[in-house]
Structure 1
Amino acid sequence: MQATMKRNMKITGTGSTNGGSFHNVRVMGEAQILGPLESESFRSMGTLDVSGTLRAGNYRQVGEVVINGDLVGNQISILGQLDISGSIRGRAVKLRGQLDVHGGECEATSFEARGGFNIHGLLNAGEVDIRTWGPCRVKEIAGNRIVVRQSKWGGLKQLFSGQGAMTLTAELIEGDYVYLENTTADVVRGANVTIGPGCKIGLVEYRKQLRRIGASQVNEEVKR
């Protein structure tokens, strides 16, 4: 039996189309996709609204995208602004801009952010690398290696101006290796923990080592 060949989808300019299952999807301009979408490769440049879950082997956007559902992919690259009503799940997630996850979790093998984000649930990734170019808010972070630094490059200052300080805010941060700068958190847990400059931490629980670098505030330290 011959396998069914998947179609390609290409939208140029302004338009709308139904969702479905495709091989390659290319969007250039201002478009709307009505319904869930599945593709092996997805590229968007411009402004896009998807009224359903989007699944893609490789996802790349340049511009603004709104997804009224989940985003599920292998390689996920975000350059611009992405607003998701559900959750995001991928192997490698790279952010250069602003990410808003309203419905739940962000789960990945690696999460690399150069910008700002607001994740209403858990950020769960083996490797977490955050450079705060804007305000970053998340309920909880869990991972093996978690590094948070304030970026010294101000290329996105205009994008985030007026939105608040370039600080990460979380209720709980937990990992094996944790390095934090400019972070406000209720609880930080880890085996090896470094609290860098600009941090305000309620409680630090560590198993092996705790280091303090620069001016920071830690209300309580406990070795477990």
Structure 2
Amino acid sequence: MHATVKRNISITGNGSSNGGSFHNVRVVGEAHIFGPLESDSFRSMGNFDVSGSLKAVHYRQVGEAAVRGDLMGSEISILGQLHITGSIRGRSVKLRGQLDVQGGECEALRFDARGGFHIHGLLHAGEVDIRTWGPCRAKEISGGRIVVRQSKWGGLKQLFSGQGAMSLSAELIEGDYVYLENTTADIVRGANVTIGPGCRIGLVEYTKQLRRIGNAHIYEEARR
């Protein structure tokens, strides 16, 4: 039997396509995909909308996008703005812009963000590295190593003007190693925890070490 050869899609200008399983998908301009889409490589420069979930081994977006379902992939790179009605799952998620995960979780081995995001559920990654270039919100954040810093470079700050403070807010942050700046959280848990400048934390629970830097506010702390 002969293996099925996957087709390629290339949309330039303004166009549309039905969903399905493809090898390479390339969008330059504006595109609407009707139905779920699966591909080995998905690259977009411009604006696109997928009426369903999107699964791609390599996903790279430059511009604006909406996925009306889940986004799944191995390497996910976002430069611009992405709105997802479901969840996002990938080995590596790299954000340079704005991300809205409306329907659920963001799960990855590594989450690297330089921008702003709103994750309505759980952000979970083995390594979480956040530079707040805009307002960042998640219901809960968990991982092995969690680092949150305010960016010293204003390259994308104009994207977020008028949208709120360049800080992170969460109900719960939990990891083995936790370093936070400009963060507001109800509870922070970890083995080695550092609460840095601009933080307001309700309760810190730690097992090994707690450090406080600058004008950090910790209302209650407990060693477990």
Report the TM-score when normalising by structure 2. Answer: 1.00
1:178-224 Cα shifts (integer Å, max 9, x gaps): 00000000000000000000000000000000000111110000000
Q: Distance in 2 between matches of 1:195 and 1:158?
A: 28
Corresponding position of 1:17: 17
Corresponding position of 2:112: 112
Corresponding position of 1:40: 40
Corresponding position of 2:60: 60
AA aligned to 1:38 is: E
Corresponding position of 1:214: 214
Q: Distance in 1 between matches of 2:190 and 2:123?
A: 16
SS at structure 2 position matched to 1:159:
helix
Q: Distance in 2 between matches of 1:173 and 1:148?
A: 11
Corresponding position of 2:72: 72
Corresponding position of 1:157: 157
Q: Distance in 2 between matches of 1:143 and 1:216?
A: 22
Q: Distance in 2 between matches of 1:157 and 1:94?
A: 17
Q: Distance in 1 between matches of 2:187 and 2:4?
A: 52
What's the offset of the Cα at 1:24? 0.4
AA aligned to 2:217 is: Q
What's the offset of the Cα at 1:2? 1.2
AA aligned to 1:221 is: E
Corresponding position of 2:143: 143
Report the TM-score when normalising by structure 1. Answer: 1.00
Corresponding position of 1:127: 127
Matches within 5 A, 1:181-192: 181-192=181-192
Q: Distance in 1 between matches of 2:116 and 2:158?
A: 12
Q: Distance in 1 between matches of 2:142 and 2:216?
A: 22
1:26-83 Cα shifts (integer Å, max 9, x gaps): 0000110000000000000000010000000000000000000000000000000000
Q: Distance in 1 between matches of 2:152 and 2:81?
A: 21
Give the RMSD, CA atoms, in angstroms.
0.4
Q: Distance in 1 between matches of 2:16 and 2:56?
A: 19
Q: Distance in 1 between matches of 2:184 and 2:23?
A: 43
Q: Distance in 2 between matches of 1:222 and 1:30?
A: 53
Q: Distance in 1 between matches of 2:28 and 2:156?
A: 23
Q: Distance in 1 between matches of 2:157 and 2:104?
A: 27
Gaps of 5+ in 1: none
What's the offset of the Cα at 1:156? 1.2
AA aligned to 1:45 is: M
